[in-house]
Chains A and B, each alone.
Chain A
Amino acid sequence: MNNSSFFHILPTVTAVAMSFGSELWSSQSDTQTFLNSYTNIEHSNSKHSPQEATSTISINWYNASRLKDNYLRLLKISSLENNWDGYGAKSIPKIVIERVKKLLYELPEGAKLFPTSRSSVQLEYHLGENKFFELEVFSGSYFLYWIDKDRSFENRVYKREIKQQLKMFLS
């Protein structure tokens, strides 16, 4: 997105950010952090390419709505107390919540979030029984598992490799 188009939608982005940012973060700086990060969202998502979208603003509203759902979900996950699973799991570490929050800005919409009993959070894209992408976020690492019929990948990954693997999964 070039600078001029960004300034064109800035009021809308600000309104969206303030409308639900205030629910999730209490401080001004947190809301500003959200606003700054929001400008990094890519508009190259294949499902919502500029050709398909009616306007740039609609893309932002749509993504903002999806982000809001996952932020509320993340808020719920972060509020889980010790033994939340009934099997002695500890609450999810804050650093894991922060790492997932950052990833949500960078990955395509539609991820589903699940906590695990081993202090991690899993992001899932399930496109069918034999086509899914699962990224497990730990406090110090990422573990990726994806399957697309006869193709698969299972390994620890660096953050920079996640998007690349997602492209391979979707190709």
Chain B
Amino acid sequence: MEDTIGKDEFLYRGIHEIWIAKEDNNRISSAAFKQASGCSVDRDGGRKKEDCISRLLRLKDFGAVCRIVNYEVVQSGAVAVYCPSKTNIYHTEIRDSPEKIEISSNKKLHYLVQHSEIVFVKT
């Protein structure tokens, strides 16, 4: 897997069910992307969508899984940085910019939420 994340590569994030506004047509709150250490996601790394989802669900009983294509991350002004760990070779962080880790701009956060696609919802 290359260190550079392609613009057409998808980034997956597990969504705790408390972040889903079910009465608002399963809207995901921007709170779901607010993480001090950068917004953790899994890059697809050439895997199929189903494999990306099932790996996340093995880790935790998420209420949903969403994904965003890296092109939209770049469009938002944020940046996806590949940060593999011992336990997760796909681990990636969406950061505010190359210089700043935490996404503090709500404009960027809303762009990310609005351009995310829900690919799994727990029934």
Contacts and interface: CB of A to CB of B under 8 A. Distances in A.
A122 B31 contact: yes
Interface in A7-44: none
A87 B35 contact: yes
Given A114-B31, A122-B31, 17 more contacts: A76-B18, A77-B18, A80-B18, A84-B16, A85-B16, A87-B40, A112-B29, A114-B18, A114-B19, A114-B29, A114-B32, A116-B35, A118-B35, A118-B36, A122-B30, A122-B34, A145-B106
Nearest to A120: B34
Contacts of B16: 84-86
8 contacts: A86-B59, A86-B62, A112-B21, A114-B32, A117-B36, A126-B24, A134-B106, A136-B34
Interface of A: 76-77, 80, 84-89, 112, 114-120, 122, 124, 126, 129, 134, 136, 145, 147, 154
Interface string B48-91: 00000000000110100000000000000000000000000000
A80 B17 CA distance: 12
Contacts of A134: 30, 106
Interface size grouping (class) on chain B: 20 to 34
Contact of A86 (B27, B34, B60, B105): B60
Interface of B: 14, 16, 18-19, 21, 24, 27, 29-32, 34-37, 40, 59-60, 62, 102, 105-107, 110, 114
Given A86-B60, A134-B106, A154-B106, A117 B24 contact: no
Nearest to B102: A118
Contacts of A115: 18, 31
Nearest to A147: B110
Contact of A116 (B21, B34, B110): B34
A129 B27 CA distance: 10
A76 B17 CA distance: 12
B40 to A, nearest CB: 5
A89 B18 contact: no
A122 B18 CA distance: 12
A119 B14 CA distance: 18
A120 B60 CA distance: 22
Contacts of A126: 21, 24, 27
Nearest to A126: B24
B34 A118 contact: yes
A32 B59 CA distance: 43
Contacts of B14: 86-87
